[in-house]
Amino acid sequence: MRIRNIPHLIGQGFKSFWRNGAMTTAAILVLICCMLVLGSFYVIIDNLDNFIEKQSEEIKTINAYVYASDDKEELANKKAALDALCEKENSNIAKYVHITKAEALENMKNQEGMEDVLSKFNEDNNPLPETFCISFKDFDTVQQLMRELEEIFGADKIKSELGMYEAVNNLSSTITLVGFWLMAILLVIAILIIMNTVKLTVFARRKDIAVMRYIGATSAFVTSPFIVEGIIVGLVAAIISTGLQYYLYTGVLADIISGYAAIDIVPATEYIAIVPVAFLALGLFAGIIASAVSVKKHLDV
């Protein structure tokens, strides 16, 4: 292929984009549909996952209580032991928060309807314990941490919701896994549909391809306008899909998702790095690979 031909080939791509209006429109619509199905599925799964993750973060904690309220020394000792545990190499403690019994009472009183019930308690007769709210890093080795904390605080002063955490965590991984495979299947279906659409648009022009070959056109000369045209189709579809997906997400999906559960919707801006890029990749795949493969079939004349 000569350099001189390149402007012509690009022009030819644009020309046939317009000339085959019905075909290119059909291809764009099919691409947009595939993209929107994939995109919507992705954001729904991601929101669900995000929600569950947040829930599990909240119970990714172990509470340790110290009731010996008068014994300032014991409290200090235990706190020092906990600090030492934090400092240890490969410590499984992400951070801890110390809630004094005064703060705990204050918090409780602030809860609606509790003020009256708790009014007889004050600084001097506060029945609540000092609380260390400990966030752990890794669930797999949390039993080890539990034993260490039990040694410090005593087995009956430790409370956790590890069972719950594990269940929620398993649910999250299941959703991620199922979501991944469903996405993979959807993607394969989308690619098959896209391949087929491109194949059809190329098939409609197989006679032109044959004649070009008969008069001595190289495969590159025949193929490149199709690829240029395919890239235009892919780009247009990706741009339209991104816009539509944005409105679909912020306008429709977000309402539906939050209608089912009190979920904080992941802001659309979080998806800027992934959704348009994925659309673009799919569009360019259709434009370059699918076109080249489809044209290749008709080159051999």
Catalog residues that contact another protein under the rule CB under 8 A: 1-2, 4-5, 8, 19, 207-208, 210-219, 221, 300-301
Residues 228, 13 contacting (CB under 8 angstroms): yes
At residue 295's C-alpha, the angle toward residues 230 and 6, to 5°, is 60
Q: How far is the CB of 228 from another protein (least distance, A)?
A: 15
Closer by beta carbon to another protein, 29 or else 204: 204
Report in angstroms how near the CB of residue 19 gets to another protein at its nearest.
6
Residue with Cβ nearer another protein (6 or 76): 6
Q: Whose Cβ is closer to another protein: residue 178's or residue 204's?
A: 204
- How far lies 6's CA from each of 10, 104, 182, 275, in Å? 6, 75, 41, 32
DSSP string, 55-70: HHHHT-EEEEEE---S
Decide whether 52 or 212 has the Cβ nearer to another protein.
212
Judged on CB neighbours under 10 Å (0-12, 13-18, 19+), 283 is buried
**Contact, 65 vs 130, CB < 8 A?**
yes
Phi-psi region of 176 (alpha: psi -120 to 50; beta: other; left: phi over 0): alpha
Q: Given the complex with another protein, which of 176 and 219 has the nearer CB atom?
A: 219
Q: Report, in Å, the least distance between residue 301 CB and another protein.
A: 7
Cβ of residue 207: shortest distance to another protein, in angstroms? 8
Min dist CB 258 to another protein, Å, is 52
Q: How far apart are CA 255 and CA 213, in angstroms?
A: 55
Q: Can you read off the two tokens belonging to residue 95? A: 């951070």
Rank residues 163 and 216 by Cβ distance to another protein and give the closer one.
Answer: 216
Rounded CA gap, 77 and 152, in Å?
Answer: 9
Mode of pairing for the β-strands spanning 130-136 and 93-99 = antiparallel
Buried b (16+ CB within 10 A) or exposed e, 10-46: bebbeebbeebeebbeebbebbbebbbebbbebbebb
| φ, ψ at 166 (rounded to 5°) | -65, -45
CB closer to another protein, 139 vs 221? 221
Minimum distance between the CB of residue 208 and another protein, rounded to whole angstroms?
6
Of the pair 221, 246, the CB lying nearest another protein is at 221
Considering only CA atoms, which of 127, 123, 130, 138 is closest in space to residue 82? 130
State in angstroms the smallest separation of the CB of 300 from another protein. Answer: 7
Smallest gap from Cβ 6 to another protein, in A, equals 10
